[in-house]
Structure formats: structure tokens, C-alpha cells
Structure 1
Amino acid sequence: MTDLEQRRSRDPSAQDERRTVVVGLLADPDTPAEVAAKLVDTLPGVLGERVDGDTHWDVRTMTHPVTASVQDPEEVLGAVADKTADTDWDIGVYLTDLPMQHGQQPILADLDHDRRVAGLSLPGFGPFLQHHKVRHAIVRLVADLTGTADAGLERGQHHPGRLGRAAAKHLQPVRVVHLDQGRHTRRYVTTRGRGRARLLAGMVRTNQPWRLVVGMRTALAAVLGTSAYLTLTSTTTWVLSTRLATGKLILTLLVAVALMVAWIIGAHHLWERARDPGEREETILYNASTVITLSLGVLTMAAAVYVLTLLGALFFLEPSVLGSSLGRPPTFGDHLVLAWLATGLATIAGALGSGLDSEDAVRRAAYGYRERQRRDEIGEDDEHTESESASSSS
């Protein structure tokens, strides 16, 4: 008999009420809230199929930065328990895009039986099929919290087949850590090697690099304007695009992207420095996430500009005008390489344009909610330290 059935049997008059279990998804803004919104309609059916078909599962969502000033994993779960205590939820599951680690091992989930809450760190699930992996994990955590089965996230060995086998492949390799905190609490962590690589990719995913295209409007305008000018008016660009080798054309764009990424990081103070030796590896992880996020964002911007530039060249450039500079009738391939070179050169101009965007606008474009919040807190701490140093010296 499960824990849920035992509680019903002790209170027969409440059996009808107890057949409804309210599962609350408490989500951070941005990506976690989007994931929760996708789950709210499908999760009740999955819980009924895989956990308890005799129970009516009522899944609700709430978007709230409940752990606004909390970074420590233990404190995060405590803050979630305090928040869900004010609701009518039977079970609370917290979704956050804050990357959390147990030593050097990324954390997937924390589980507290006494307070009937669980927390999931989305970056630990990696960049692909994140919605499906999170759904499987929630189902298994809810099964554990209701006493139906052990969550068994570590390869699914404690689950009946209908719960664990289909999902276990998405969560390997995972192991459990029992926390000595006076509570029935477990933590699921991934390996240091593959797990940290997946964590980094998940951090980039939650940052949503494609938002950089519309988030940095000044840089985008600079790239588009420069590309249009080079494409439509520069005869030097016309001729040069047909003379450069393929390798040089590719290198031109890659160097332009690297310059723009470096400029954005330097102009908007996005590079972090470890404040003590213990933060070194964590700082490397965050800096790598920044570089990859910006690189993918700038490449996405360049791809969009390339398509627009190509369409503009095909529409506005008369074959006779372009052919007079090339000394022969232009081909479609000439338009392709012209748009490529113009985009690469214009991306360099976009680096200068990015300096005109405000630091807040750049951070909103480059990072998710919790990463922006973390960086704001670091900035406030640094300012406070500097003010104390100035006061003591005076």
C-alpha cells in the first residue's frame, strides 16, 4: 500500500477529496515558465497513466522568482518549501534555469519527502529534448513523493517498468546522493565529465542565443545598413567577392563573428573573474557559456542578414550593372558570394554598433532571467566591496 493510500484509509470521510492530488509547478520566469506552460496540459494524463490511474491529478503553474537572492542548492529547496506552504498544493516542483552543482557534479534534481517538494535545474538536462526529459523526471519525482515508487533517476532501477525504462536513457549517467540534513532528502547528480558538458550546453540553451538578433537592435541595424551599402554601391566588393578563394571568404566571416563577440564582451563587461580560487572552475563555466551564447547569437544574426542581403542583391542589382564591373554576365553564384562577403564585412561594423546598445539591453538579449539576476548580484557585491575599500582608505 502506498503512502497516499494509507493516508486515505486513515481518514475514510476524506477519501473522495484525497483522490485529487494537486501538483504545483513553481517556475522561474523565461525558459522555466515556458517549460511549465507546455507541461500543464499533458502532465495530468501522463501521471494518471504511469503513477496512479485512480487519482485525479490537478497540475497548476505559478511563475515567481521565489529564490531571488538564493544560490545555494539547499537554500533553494528550503525557499521553495516555504513558498509552497502558502498554497493548497499537495506536491510542489520547482523549475529553475539556475545551474547548480554538488561539488564538481551538476545537479539534476533535489527531493525532500518531509516537505513534499522537489527542485529541477533545467541546464543539467542538456540542450535537446529538454521538455521531454523534464516531464519524465517530474513524473518519477511525483511517484516518489506520493509513495508510489522510488524516483530511481539513477538508471531507473527502482521503478516498475512502465515508469522507468522509457525515460532512463534520457537521464543517464545519473547517481543519487543522500544528504545528511535531518530530512528525508535525496539529490540526483550527473558525472563531472559528460555531465558538465551537458550542463554547459543546457546553460547556452536556457540563454536562448537567437534572442540576440532582436535584442541588440542597434547592432542589427548597423550590420544591415553596412551590408546593404556594400552590396548595392561598392564596385570593389563586387569584384573582390569573385576573386577571393572559398577559404578566405569563410575566414572573413569567422573573424568578423569573433571580433563582434569580443567587442560585445569587452564593451559590456560580460567577462567574469574568479574572486577566489574556489570559484575558478565555476567562472570558466560561466565564461564559456557567455562566449558560446554570443557566438551562436551573432551567427544567427549573420545568417538572417545574409538572406536579406542576398534577396536585396537579386532584386536591386541589375545584371548589366554588375556585369560591367565583373567583365562578364553575373551568375547566381556571384550573388551568393557577394552577399557572403558583404555580410562578413558588415558584421565588423555591427561590433561597433553593439557598443551603442545599453548594458541592460545586451544582458537581456544574451542571458536568461536567473543568469541576469546572478550577474546583477555580483555587480552589487563588487560595488559594495569597492565602496567599503574607499571608506576604509579615507
Structure 2
Amino acid sequence: MIVGVVADPGFSTRLAQILTDRLPELLAACPVDRPGEIEVESVARPLPPATDGSPALDEWFDVLHHRFDLVMVVSEMPRRLASRAVVAEIFRDRMCVFYTPSFGVLGTARRLLRTVADALPRLVGADRSEPTPTGTRWTTDADGVERLVSTSPLGRVRLVAGMVRGNRPWRLIPALSGAFGAASAASAFGVFYASIWQMAASMSVTRLTLVTLAVLVAISTWLIVPNGLWERRNFRSTRADRVLYNSATLGTVVAGAVCMYGLLLLAVMLAAVVVVPDDYLAEQLGTPTTLATYVKLAWLAASLGIAAGAVGSTASDRTEILRATYGRREVERRQAADREKDAET
């Protein structure tokens, strides 16, 4: 029996490799007679969605079932059944699709393996030996399609968090190198000017936090609006899908902005400790210098740097910013699939 593990390029490929390594063990645990040896083959292949954004299961099955006896698809696409997140879906008794965003952020490989162990008996006609993962249940629609859906109140939150994880927000940082350089230059004023020191020392943690939130909103808006990351009605028809995808985009951009802000804060903190002697700082402020003094100084300087330098600067790679959205990567998967189809013909 040949089992194919097929995955979208990206984060899903990493999970698919883990599944490929463990699949023989999981198959051996299914109490059913299988003539011959089990061969597991891993394939990275773009799996484009249908035009409405839903998984194109018929198309995927037509392309894959000729090569394998069983097909295990690890997809980064989000899948919903009404308001419930779909974790896995069995199609035509030979293909099972696992939707990685539904696994959330932490323990994704563990959740995937548990779900595979629960789905395999349904695929091979064996008695179930594993309990259904907590917070999920199997449903069967009128066409006989079996789906494992989330029943947890946090299922939708986990789905959005998983989409943010799939977007890999840290990839925004290289694309924002120009913004980071501008913010660093602007933050230098906070390190060298005594008026900024005095202002930082007099500000409360609450006020500094509000300033941070304001600059994060500013840079997130600067990334989303000019780059057209917000999906509108003409791109995705249903309001629920737009809310889902835009929530993931917002979470990705905010996470990327927080990463850049954190790096800038550490850089400014190091510069302040190295450049500004503590006795001179204490003399200017009229109070003893502590670590908290340097933290507040760096905190305000980094916030001013983001507001004065980063917002409005030019991103070095707009393509990487666009790839922070699921809509853009859907278009890229369709284009890659078309190229593969043309190459095969």
C-alpha cells in the first residue's frame, strides 16, 4: 500500500515531514489486514483553493488519487463548517485533509499526530483504538463526507491564531529593514537628548504603555492600508470569511510590528547603557539611576523612533508584506499549480 503525504509549501511541509516519519507507526497500530508492505511518500505540491476560497477537494482528489492508495493532505488553508473550525475531513474514503490552522500555535505537531491516529481507522476500515481529541467531534453530512470539527469555545480563536502562525509574521522583519533603520536613527535622539531622559523618567508605566499602543496602531495601519492587505467584498464574498481572513492579517501585521518594536527596544536599551553613564544620567535627572530608569528611557525613545522614523518609510520588499496574507498566497498557489499543469502537458 502506497500512502502519499501531500502538503502545501511552507509551514505545512514541516508538519508533513513529521507525519511522514511517524505514519508507518500509526498505520501499524490500526488493527486491519493490509497485504504487502506500507510505503510512505512525501510530496510538496501547491494545492490551490476553489474560486470562492474553499478547498478544491474534487480537484485535489483527481490529481492525487492516481498515485496513491491513501492520500493524507496537510493544508495550511482554514476551513469552517458554519461557525465551527474544521480540523480534518475525509473525502471519498481515500483522502483525508488536515487543516493546520485549526491546530493553533502551540503543540501543532502533537495535535496533528493525535488527529491522524483518530482518522486512520475511518480510512482503513479498522476499529477505533484512539479517543477523539478533546474539544472535537466527527460529523457526517448528507453526501457522506466525514468531518472532525472543533466544539471548543476557543476553536475560532485557535483557528485565527493558527492562520497567524501560518503567515509567519517574523518574515515581515527583513521587509521592514528600511523602516527599522529609520526608526533606529530617530530613536538616537532619545539616547542623546536630556529632555527625553527627563520626560521618560516623569512618565508612568501606564502612559508609556498607551504611547506604545498608539505607535503599534500607527505602524500596523501604515502596513495594511497602503499595501492593500485588507480584503474587501469584491475579493471574498461572505462577511464571515472576510472577518476571518482580515483578523488573521491584522494579527500577523501586529505580531510583525511587535517583533520589530522589541528588537528596536533592545537595541536602544543597549545603546543607552553603553553611551550614557549612570552618574551623568543621575545628575541630569536629579535622582539616583536604576535599571528602571534606563528601561523607561529606551521605552520612550523606541516609541518615538517608531512614530517619527518607521511610519511612512518605504518597505524594502513589498512582496514579502503581501505574502503575510492568505489571499496573496492563494493567488500564488493557483499560479504555481497552473505552471505545474502546463509543465505536465
Q: TM-score, normalised by structure 1?
A: 0.75
Contact 1:98/1:123 (CA < 8 Å) preserved in 2? yes
Residue number among 98, 102, 109 corresponding to 1:131 in the alignment: 109
1:372 corresponds in structure 2 to 328
After superposition, the C-alpha distances for 1:87-118 in whole angstroms (9 at most, x for unaligned) are 2x22111111111223443322221245x111
Residue number among 169, 173, 180 corresponding to 2:136 in the alignment: 173
After superposition, the C-alpha distances for 1:318-367 in whole angstroms (9 at most, x for unaligned) are 23443342234532221111111111111223542554344323123x34
Higher helix share: 1
Q: What SS does the corresponding residue of 2:231 show, helix, strand or coil? A: coil
CA 374–69 in structure 1, closer or farther in 2 if over 3 Å, else same: same
1:98 corresponds in structure 2 to 77
2:176 is aligned with 1:216? yes
1:304 corresponds in structure 2 to 263
In structure 1, how many angstroms separate the alpha carbons of the residues matched to 2:331 and 2:207? 38
Contact 2:236/2:242 (CA < 8 Å) preserved in 1? no
CA 148–113 in structure 1, closer or farther in 2 if over 3 Å, else same: farther
Matches within 5 A, 1:215-234: 215-227=175-187, 229-234=188-193
Q: What SS does the corresponding residue of 1:203 show, helix, strand or coil? A: helix
The offset of 1:251, in angstroms, is 0.9
Contact 1:66/1:83 (CA < 8 Å) preserved in 2? no
In structure 2, how many angstroms separate the alpha carbons of the residues matched to 1:53 and 1:335? 68
Residue number among 273, 279, 295 corresponding to 2:232 in the alignment: 273
What CA RMSD, in Å, does the superposition of the two structures yield over aligned residues? 2.9
In structure 2, how many angstroms separate the alpha carbons of the residues matched to 1:72 and 1:282? 9
Residue number among 84, 93, 96 corresponding to 1:118 in the alignment: 96
Matches within 5 A, 1:278-357: 279-357=238-316
In structure 2, how many angstroms separate the alpha carbons of the residues matched to 1:175 and 1:31? 26
1:39 corresponds in structure 2 to 19
1:259 corresponds in structure 2 to 218
After superposition, the C-alpha distances for 1:56-75 in whole angstroms (9 at most, x for unaligned) are 543321111032665564x6
1:10 corresponds in structure 2 to none
The offset of 1:239, in angstroms, is 1.3
- Matched residue pairs, number? 333
Higher RCO, 1 or 2 (CA under 8 Å, sep at least 6)? 2
Q: What SS does the corresponding residue of 2:56 show, helix, strand or coil? A: helix
In structure 1, how many angstroms separate the alpha carbons of the residues matched to 2:205 and 2:152? 40
Structure 2: which amino acid aligns with 1:43?
Answer: L
Structure 2: unaligned runs, 5 residues or longer = 335-345
Contact 1:314/1:335 (CA < 8 Å) preserved in 2? yes
2:6 is aligned with 1:26? yes
Q: TM-score, normalised by structure 2?
A: 0.85
CA 191–351 in structure 1, closer or farther in 2 if over 3 Å, else same: farther
In structure 1, how many angstroms separate the alpha carbons of the residues matched to 2:319 and 2:304? 27
In structure 2, how many angstroms separate the alpha carbons of the residues matched to 1:50 and 1:322? 69
2:118 is aligned with 1:140? yes
In structure 1, how many angstroms separate the alpha carbons of the residues matched to 2:21 and 2:33? 16
Q: What SS does the corresponding residue of 1:330 show, helix, strand or coil? A: coil
1:60 corresponds in structure 2 to 41
Structure 1: unaligned runs, 5 residues or longer = 1-20, 150-158, 379-394
